Amino acid sequence: MKLSIISFTRRGSLLAVRLGVLLREAGYDCDTFLPDRFFAEAEAPDGGPQGSGRNMEIFPLMGEKAKDWAGRMFSRGRSMIFIGAAGIAVRAAAPWLKDKFEDPAMVVMDEAGRFAIPILSGHAGGANGLARVIGDLTGAMPVITTATDVNRLFSVDEFAARNGLTISSRLQAKNIAMALLEGEPVGFFSDFPVCGSEKDGKWIPPGCSAENQQRNIRITVRQRGDGWQKEDLILTPRALVLGVGCRREIEREKLETEIMAALAEENLRPEAVKALATIDLKADERAILELSERWGWKVISFSAEDLRRVPGRFSSSPFVLQTVGVDNVCERAACAGAPEGVLVMRKRAGGGVTVAAVLEHVEIGWTREDST
């Protein structure tokens, strides 16, 4: 999580500098912004709090208003800690709000450092967790107001965010949360082990059931399955590496159509894809680059020599060998891109496109914050 701290008073600035030190020591990418009149004191070799200095990434606000500063942080996707009145933070954030799945986290602290209050993106953005971290570091009391936390229930959106899982439907996520709050049973199923549990990967969140219900949570890379309900919430890890080969100057739409058809035939979700892997001769192919940008997929490329060294049994094409110097691109590239994974889709060819898929090892983690 990338963090930025802002303060408005002298006492608040002293707390901001101290908190910045603690967060950076804890491994966070943290910048601290101070009013101009307090910046010199914080930067002075002997004048500021112990440990202050330019290596702390302290910046003067240069007269910038809180609203404009917040806008910069929103555009950079940086979570924010406001040290001061909550009303200032609310007004500063208001013009930039989109929704809870996109907005960065925001926590407010009073200048005495007594409370840490998440006021924006408590679950999906991680503000609740950030408030707890601040509490651990400074002794401040986290003031958590989200209903699932107050009632000590499972927070599906925080769980998903913590594990990098894509949520299939915001509406279904909301409905699942409401069902848990109202005491309705919710099924919980995972195709992957849930690590950190005391039941060897069979942990079931409080309020959930290991049996199918009207609403269910399913952690999977599959598109469909027996017993699935239309009300189910699908949580998808980004764990597929697609190996791709294609004819030169293929259209992006055609490449996308063939890839989506292959995924559908193999019952794999596009949301599970994290990267496209190919031979270096195709690394600059416009369709591949456009498709990766459209879906947020990385592009990984390998030389023909690298691909030839990939262990395993793959389909072989004399034409491909003569053309690019290796007998198979898609299967070998997928395996090279995820060397510890499993080849879950062998070469599929059509329309000038070849595609294969490797599923990386996936372990889902949970902490007591997800269910307390």
Question: What's the CATH number where 176 sits?
Answer: 3.40.1390.40
CATH of the domain at 310: 3.30.420.180
Q: Please tell me the predicted confidence (pLDDT) of residue 22.
A: 93
Q: Which whole-number Å values give the CA distances from 92 to 13, 96, 111, 280, 350, in the listed order? A: 18, 8, 18, 47, 52
Domain assignment of residue 6, yes or no = yes
Q: Rounded to 5 degrees, what are φ and ψ at 83? A: -105, 105
109 and 8 co-located in one domain: yes
Per the structure, the count of domains in the chain is: 3
Tokens of 72: 């910069």
Choose the final residue of a domain: 237, 254, 270: 237
From the CB of residue 3, how many other CB atoms can be counted at a distance below 10 Å? 24
- Identify the DSSP state of 217: E
The rounded percent of the chain whose pLDDT value lies above 90 is 62
DSSP 125-170: T-HHHHHHHHHHHH-PEE----HHHHTT---HHHHHHHHTEEES-H
118 and 201 co-located in one domain: no
228 and 247 co-located in one domain: no
Q: Please tell me the predicted confidence (pLDDT) of residue 145.
A: 81
pTM of the model: 0.70
Rounded to whole angstroms, the Cα distance separating 258 from 304 reads: 24
Domain assignment of residue 365, yes or no = no
163 and 102 co-located in one domain: no
Choose the final residue of a domain: 188, 217, 237: 237
118 and 173 co-located in one domain: no
Domain assignment of residue 326, yes or no = yes
- Identify the DSSP state of 12: H
Which residue numbers in the chain have pLDDT < 70?
A: 40-56, 147-148, 150-151, 196-202, 367-372
Q: Please tell me the predicted confidence (pLDDT) of residue 224.
A: 93
CATH of the domain at 97: 3.40.50.11220
177 and 141 co-located in one domain: no
278 and 353 co-located in one domain: yes
207 and 330 co-located in one domain: no
Range of the structural domain that residue 263 is part of = 240-359
181 and 140 co-located in one domain: no
* Residue of 40, 36, 57, 37 whose CA lies nearest to 48: 40
Choose the final residue of a domain: 237, 253, 288: 237
Domain assignment of residue 371, yes or no = no
50 and 141 co-located in one domain: yes
Domain assignment of residue 287, yes or no = yes
| pLDDT tens per residue, range 68-109 | 999 999 999 999 999 999 999 999 999 999 887 788 999 999
Domain assignment of residue 370, yes or no = no
Amino acid in the structure at residue 8: F
From the CB of residue 135, how many other CB atoms can be counted at a distance below 10 Å? 15
| pLDDT tens per residue, range 137-194 | 999 999 988 766 766 778 888 888 888 899 998 889 889 988 888 888 899 999 998 8
Domain assignment of residue 58, yes or no = yes
232 and 285 co-located in one domain: no
Let me know if 110 is exposed, middle or buried by CB neighbors in 10 A (0-12, 13-18, 19+).
middle
Is residue 333 within 8 A of residue 298, CB to CB? The reply is no
